Amino acid sequence: MKNDSLHVELGRRYQFAASHRLHTPELSEEENYRVFGKCNNPYGHGHNYVLEVSLSGKIDPATGMIANLADLDAFVERQVLEEFDHRSLNEDVAAFRDTVPTTENLCIEIFRRLQDFPHAKLERVRIQETGNNSFEYAGNTEGNRS
């Protein structure tokens, strides 16, 4: 069976817990509260995030897989989970020291960290923040590099 023309995607789900405070020094205290509401709590608040990673690639004729899940799991662990799980995004993750750690920005940062996975092409990152909120990022339109 010739697989060169097939487009197959691999989806993998991960979970991590992290806290954040939505606040920007570009707004007054009152404006921050108006924009971010209870998410502007000075002590922060936490989420149990669900991260979904979608990859595409050619199916290896020997294994029948796009990518080895153990390789992907180890890559995501190193690039994302070790730094984000059970952390304060504002205080513990350098990328969010000067960027509001909204889940939109979290998607972009995680995409940036995962886009160099060597065994398949990263298609998109989706993060479920709550039962009602999810966000997705598929890179920019020029070469899928953010």
Q: Just list the catalytic residues.
A: 39, 86, 129
Residue whose entry in the numeric block shows the structure tokens 């039962």: 131
**Residues 111/146, Cβ–Cβ less than 8 Å:** yes
Retrieve residue 96's tokens: 């969010």
The DSSP 8-state label assigned to residue 96 in this structure reads: G
Q: How far apart are the first and last CA of the chain?
A: 35
CA distance readout (Å), 58 to 4, 26, 64: 7, 46, 9
DSSP string, 43-105: T-EEEEEEEEEEEE-PPPTTTS-SS-HHHHHHHHIIIIIHHHTTEEHHHH-GGGSSS---HHH
